[in-house]
Amino acid sequence: MGAVKLFSKRNLQIIAYCLVSVFATLCFVGWQLQQLTGNAAETLKFLRAMYVIKNNFDGEVDNAKLFDGAIDGMVKSLDDPYTVYLDKKAFADLSEATIGSFGGIGIVFGKRDDDYVVISALPDNPGALAGIKNGDKILEVDGKATKDMNMEEVATKIRGEIGSEVTLKLLEKDGKEKTVRVIRKEIKTQSVGAEMLPDTKIGYIRVVMFNEKTGVDFAKEYEKLEKEGMQATILDLRGNPGGVLDDGVAVAKKFVPKGPIVSIIYNDGSQFVENSDLPKIKYPLAVLVDGGSASASEIVAGAIKDTKAGKLFGVKTFGKGSVQGVYRLDAATAIKVTTAKYYTPSGVSIHNVGIEPDVVIELPENATEDVQLKAAEKYLLEELSKRGE
């Protein structure tokens, strides 16, 4: 009898020890979940949902699709069009576009409200030649409504094999719908063009977009115009969707006096500032902007406006002032996430706001004269006259 009691007592001790161990383990797991996610209860709810689906759904459950859907939903809940989940296909397409050549139609688009809007139909590229214009809303790509896609999915459907065809349904600014069929080509764009305006001392420089060569090409064209007698400058950033930040900064350094050009503030509060070391403003400057001027071109225009290095002519810019980074989840997937915002020298964020020009002047549809360019030229001629040049 005593032996039985002793055995039972030992069993109770073992059971008690196991319960304490289990409780301690659960507490530790809960603490770790709290540390990792900030909300252990919601994480447990998520795991419970997976358990319910896997054990009760009347059908096949694909674990990979389940996780893909969960991650995609997580990203979409942030309500940021520039933060997207890149599944295997989207990540492969992005890698191809970044590393090698690819087929496209030469348009850059962004999201405004709930619509995908063409920021810039790059000149002499398939999209522009097919009749796509800045400001057109992209309603469908190959028959699929864009409202059902994220930004990367729209871009992926527009890109494709060189020589293949893509069909876009668009809504023009005047409310008319149109359908265009475009043959994809390898996109090559000369980013900088320049000339002296006839019978003046005004140099005109057009920057179509900022790529890895823009800074160097711009410096060459600027120097050439100086040798031709340039005493004032028009910088045309209309329809420029942005691109490489470093090259945008390189262009700004030609105009912005010593001090900050742009501040990049990250989500953890850290800050990176790009500065100019230009001793003083060299020539009178006019900058042309419109709704197609975005991202890096807005950084240049914003710095020029804030420092009064020049005067802006045209209409309000697009308002794309955020920075994205791509983070790998595994060998084949990633998340592209907004990590920071740009701020002009005066500390203004342009994101979803844009930049108002100093002189607001619309360019009429089908205009026979570039009234924005003419207004900028008139302003610079007056400035040169004041200086006796």
Catalytic residues: 295, 306, 320
Q: Do the Cβ atoms of 106 and 187 come closer than 8 Å?
A: yes
Which parts of the chain fold into alpha helices (H)? 2-37, 40-56, 63-76, 88-99, 126-129, 151-158, 214-227, 245-252, 296-306, 371-386
Longest CA–CA separation in the chain, Å: 119
- For residue 34, the cross-strand partners are none
d(Cα 61, Cα 34) in Å, to the nearest integer? Answer: 28
Is the separation of the CB atoms in 238 and 288 below 8 Å?
Answer: yes
What is d(CA 271, CA 180) in angstroms, rounded to the nearest whole number?
44
Give me 341's structure tokens.
């915002």
> 104: phi > 0 → left, psi -120 to 50 → alpha, else beta; which?
beta
Structure tokens at 215: 């800074």
Buried/exposed code over 353-381 (b: 16+ C-beta within 10 A; e: otherwise): ebbebbeeeebeeeeeeeebbebbbebbb
- Alpha-carbon distance of 228 to 222, in angstroms, equals 10
Q: Which letter, b or e, does each residue of 65-100 get, where b requires 16 or more Cβ atoms within 10 Å of its Cβ?
A: eeeeeebbeebeeeeebbbbbbbeebbebbeebeee
Structure tokens at 281: 């403003």
Give the rounded distance of the alpha carbon of 187 from its chain centre: 19
Residue 114: other Cβ atoms inside 10 A: 9
Cα angle 20-26-27, degrees, rounded to a multiple of 5: 85
Query: What is the number of other CB atoms lying within 10 angstroms of the CB of residue 174?
Result: 6
